[in-house]
Amino acid sequence: GAGVSQSPSNKVTEKGKDVELRCDPISGHTALYWYRQRLGQGLEFLIYFQGNSAPDKSGLPSDRFSAERTGESVSTLTIQRTQQEDSAVYLCASSRSGEETQYFGPGTRLLVL
Amino acid sequence: GQNIDQPTEMTATEGAIVQINCTYQTSGFNGLFWYQQHAGEAPTFLSYNVLDGLEEKGRFSSFLSRSKGYSYLLLKELQMKDSASYLCAVRSSFSGGYNKLIFGAGTRLAVHP
């Protein structure tokens, strides 16, 4: 079956512009996660959605970052007024409720010039 | 706080055995994961340990000692395709019943002929 998909695969933007990243989880997966991975580093948790519960936003680095999810489907991560330090790969993952394994999408490579 | 440590880089010879260690300090421990990540690709799930002991899955095994805050990933009969980063991640439960993964920085393994 289809895995987690993300778009765009690559995004180059200018400092100060807003960007929107999209994630389509695996169908039937109620949990959705966003992570950031800077070059040569591990994954940094950003935000977690579980069904209709309030999302865990504890990993968002600043108020320029926000994310939304429509029901148990697509999610968008928005970065406002991008900074060069936002350059990274943004990874989305999803999992079934009660299942431990997270399945990752291919990521969006963001470069802020 | 939360802290996960693993070696930055390791090298090994094709056909050999390599052990990648991970130590962690976290509140509300609720399981440890190992993921494999090839350069430029998304992480893929390798193993999950929540109880002490060894979990074997083909050429890969993972060990956990909760009292010591320690895990290792053992790779046997190394192949060139095993050259990748190996990410140790701890699931931490906290108020609200949510769980999130805290990732280490990853260990880059290079397998040589």
Gap between the Cα atoms of B44 and B59, Å rounded: 16
The alpha-carbon gap from A101 to the nearest alpha carbon of chain B, in Å, equals 7
Cβ of A91 within 8 Å of Cβ of B42? The answer is yes
CB within 8 Å of A12: residues ≥ 6 apart: A111, A113
Please list the residues that pair with B13 across neighbouring strands: B112
Q: State pLDDT tens for residues B39-92.
A: 888 899 999 999 999 999 999 999 999 999 999 999 999 999 999 999 999 988
Tokens of A24: 């389509």
Task: Output the CA torsion B30→B88→B46→B21 (10° steps).
Answer: -110
The DSSP element (H or E) to which B108 belongs, if any, is strand B107-112
Q: State pLDDT tens for residues A10-69.
A: 999 999 999 999 999 999 898 999 999 998 888 999 999 988 888 888 889 999 999 999
Cβ of B42 within 8 Å of Cβ of A43? The answer is no
The alpha-carbon gap from A22 to the nearest alpha carbon of chain B, in Å, equals 16
The DSSP element (H or E) to which A76 belongs, if any, is strand A75-79
